[in-house]
């Protein structure tokens, strides 16, 4: 069974946010979707945009996003083969969320870094 096949039913647990986080949560999915929000990308282009992600992890995350219907994989029959990933029309509905997350990150990055450093420094003193 493939890893994408293991990506099964959403557990709502009484909270609709759970549904959203199930689709875009994790370390990489939001980043992948953000990069695709500006247009179709080839696999290696996504790798260049996210140098810390492994090839296997990018493949798994793209497959899960494809299973959820937010990413489309287009295979062009040419030599060498060309594959592009893009947001589906359903995936396009995530753009406002992604852009709000981007804006929040820009606005609050310094605060987060300060908070983390403060906590790390406090932990060293104990």
The answer to the question of residue 5 being in a domain is: no
Q: Are 27 and 61 in contact (CB under 8 A)?
A: no
Q: How far apart are CA 20 and CA 23, in angstroms?
A: 5
Structural domain count of the chain: 1
What are the pLDDT tens digits along the chain (126 aa)?
445 545 666 666 678 888 899 899 989 999 999 999 999 999 999 999 999 999 999 999 999 999 999 999 999 999 888 999 999 999 999 999 999 999 999 999 999 999 999 988 877 766
| Measured CA distances, 71 to 63, 104, 125 (Å) | 8, 24, 47
Could you tell me the maximum CA-CA distance found in the chain, to the nearest angstrom? 62
- What is the value of pTM for the model shown? 0.83
Which pLDDT score is estimated for 107?
A: 98
For 30, the domain range is 16-123
Q: Are 76 and 83 in contact (CB under 8 A)?
A: yes
The answer to the question of residue 10 being in a domain is: no
Please state the three-class secondary structure of 70-122 as a single string. CEEEEEECCCCCEEEEEECHHHHCCHHHHHHHHHHHHHHHHHHHHHHHHHHHH
Structural tokens at position 32: 């992948």
Which pLDDT score is estimated for 5?
A: 46
The answer to the question of residue 84 being in a domain is: yes
Q: Are 36 and 73 in contact (CB under 8 A)?
A: no
CATH number at residue 91: 1.10.10.10
**3-class DSSP assignment, residue 41:** strand
């Amino acid at each position: 069974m493939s890893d994408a096949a293991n990506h099964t039913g959403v557990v709502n647990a009484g909270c609709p946010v759970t549904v959203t986080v199930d689709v875009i949560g994790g370390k990489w999915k939001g980043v992948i979707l953000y990069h695709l929000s500006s247009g179709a990308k080839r696999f290696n282009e996504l790798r260049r945009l996210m140098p810390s992600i492994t090839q296997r992890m990018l493949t798994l995350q793209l497959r899960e996003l494809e299973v959820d219907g937010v990413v489309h994989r287009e295979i062009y029959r040419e030599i060498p083969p060309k594959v592009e990933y893009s947001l589906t029309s359903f995936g396009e509905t995530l753009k406002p969320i992604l852009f709000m997350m981007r804006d929040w990150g820009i606005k609050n990055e310094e605060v987060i870094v300060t908070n983390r450093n403060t906590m790390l420094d406090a932990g060293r003193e104990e």
